[in-house]
A and B are shown apart, each in its own frame.
Chain A
Amino acid sequence: QLQLQESGPGLVKPSQTLSLSCAVSGDSISTGRHSWSWIRQAPGRGLEWVGYIYHSGDTYYNPSLKSRVTISINTTKNQFSLRLTSMAAEDSAVYYCARALKWTWYFDLWGRGTLVTVSS
């Protein structure tokens, strides 16, 4: 079944680093046909694109988060990951992973999202 599944801690302390993973089922990251993105939604706020990665390892990040974000890819596990440093309360959000066909600019497949709360 074609799906994306986010996983990671639901609670992170301020200043700590968030690490999330997105497991890809029913498709192979290794085909190189897609880009793999992270998108978040803070409570009461709109969606915010965080960044994406290609199979080649090329990454593109939201300029507002670029200094704190790293997206990586693991073809062996068929998953990709998000690392966000120096977490603060405003980083509390539902984090979604999503897929886009390479060189297109829409997300055709999303995960259900995982809620991350930043609190001491």
Chain B
Amino acid sequence: QSALTQPRSVSGSPGQSVTISCSGTSSDVGGYDYVSWYQLHPGKAPNLIIYDVTVRPSGVPDRFSGSKSGNTASLTISGLQAEDEADYYCSSYEGNYQWVFGGGTTLTVL
């Protein structure tokens, strides 16, 4: 079980868009449409922002969107806001009733 690969950090100015990638293999990201994304603010419970690759839970702004191509999933945040500054993690089902997470990406809003 190897962690999914994410960039360590990304940054953008308010109003801009950023994309965070999540690279896996055909055994996880590429093999299932079960990629999810989580937002982590220090001291708070992690928050689900995307599931099943593209689905946004109710209450999550439509500035957040997900996609997948081959073995790589992506999270795009458009119209960056200061409160978007957080750590973001992807996760994928990898078969055999198991999950795998990415290494996490720190988003800095400049």
Highest count of chain B CB atoms <10 Å: which of A3, A62, A106: A106
Contact across chains for A112 and B101 when beta carbons are under 8 A apart: no
Q: Are B91 and A47 in contact (CB under 8 A)?
A: yes
The answer on a CB contact under 8 Å between A113 and B45 is: yes
Contacts of A37 in B (CB 8 A): 99
Interface size (B, Cβ < 8 Å)? 29
What 1/0 mask marks residues of chain A from 52 to 78 whose CB sits below 8 Å from any chain B CB?
000000001011100000000000000
* Closest chain A CB from B50 CB (angstroms): 8
CB distance from A87 to the nearest CB of B (A): 20
Instruction: Kindly list chain A residues whose C-beta atoms are within 8 Å of the C-beta of B101.
Output: 39, 46-49
Knowing A60-B97, A62-B1, say if A108 contacts B57 (CB, 8 Å).
yes
Q: Are B89 and A106 in contact (CB under 8 A)?
A: no
Q: Is the CB of A105 within 8 A of B103?
A: no
A112:B45 contact, CB within 8 angstroms: yes
From A37, A46, A49, name the one whose CB has the most chain B CB atoms within 10 angstroms: A46
Residues 31-63 of chain B, each 1 if its beta carbon lies under 8 Å from chain A, else 0: 010101010000111111001100001000000
Contact assessment for B46 and A96 in the assembled complex, using a CB-CB cutoff below 8 Å: yes
Q: A46-B3, A46-B104 are in contact. Are A106 and B98 (CB under 8 A)?
A: no
Residues of A within 8 A of B (CB): 3-4, 37, 39, 45-49, 60, 62-64, 96, 98, 104-113
12 A/B residue pairs, CB under 8 Å, sorted by A:
A39-B101, A47-B38, A49-B100, A60-B96, A62-B1, A104-B52, A105-B99, A106-B36, A107-B46, A107-B91, A112-B45, A113-B45
